[in-house]
Structure 1
Amino acid sequence: MALPVCKEAPKCLMENNDGDLKVNPKAPQILTSIIKPIVVVVFAGQHSIGKSYLMDWLAGSNSVEEIKREAAEKDKLLKQQQVEKQQKIEAQQRSLEEKMNQLKWKMMENRYKRLEKNNMMLKSKLKEQEKLRKEDFQKEVAKMKKKIKGLEAENKDIKNKNSSWWGKLLGIAEFAVKFMFSGAGKFAEK
């Protein structure tokens, strides 16, 4: 059932001037001049929920074609925004994956550098130990053995990738990033 279209523009009896709600000074004159039955319509609600659109539709100021055109434009804009958001999410995901790969390489490089440095120190300490052993300094030999065992243990930890807390942390971060973006992609598809 189609609503009848108003012949005249709607009359506002209340005005909103800079946040102050006031009665239109011409309201009594408008009301006394009406002889036919009237309908009073009040719209209230949050910003951008369609109050003006509904009022225009009731007043008959928009044709059906214009309403369809506006709806199609809004739909097109929403789809475009959705595509842009999806592209932004994908770009962020690629950027994070690239940074994670860079971090992995940097950590691996640092690990090898530490290993190389420790091997050099180990060789030096072994030479020093041999020298002290020849000079029969038993006390110094015991200290040196302790340092050597510590370096050997550290080398073992460096070689053992699973015991590295950096490796575990990186694995957790990589899982979290993949989980976040796999969920964000599904959300954007809806």
Structure 2
Amino acid sequence: MRATHGRHLAAVVAIVAALLAGCAPLRPAVAPPDAEVTPGAAAEAETAIAPTSTVEPVRLITNQTPAVRAYRKLGSGQIYKAYPTRIYKGKIPPLVYAVVVVETDIDATGKVLNVGFSRRPSHAPEVPEMIAELIRKASPLPPPGKLGAHTYVDTWLWDKSGNFQLDSRTLGQRSR
């Protein structure tokens, strides 16, 4: 009886594995380039390859590779430099006014091509458009180097005052 139970369990596991193997909802349409993982990934991205004159197609990179995380720091750094008086100082309040997930399409030179949103706050419809304008004015963002043209994704934490922090650089949230 025990051997039969083991074979049934093995069959169920094999079926589930086969079903899951066919599912790939989070794979990017274009496979991201091989990213070399080094401690200086951010520094390497900062000293990006000189841009070419051809425009590369934008591709959404959904996985958070070290190179993508390093670029998020570079992109957010450019936005912070552009708006130093708009950065919320310290830890943000427990109930921030708006949380907006922003998808910024950039080319190989860092030029902003499009700003879209995968999360918009229904109670604060004015905030996404203000964010889009801030990003456009901060363009170009740093060149993405080996990542090439892609969609830079970051979450904006927007305070009622109009100041903000980006998730990639947040100082955290106060408990009260």
TM-score, normalisation: structure 2: 0.23
Higher helix share: 1
Higher strand share: 2
Q: Taking CA–CA contacts closer than 8 Å with sequence separation of 6 or more, which of the two structures ends up with the larger relative contact order?
A: 2
Q: Which is greater in Rg? A: 1
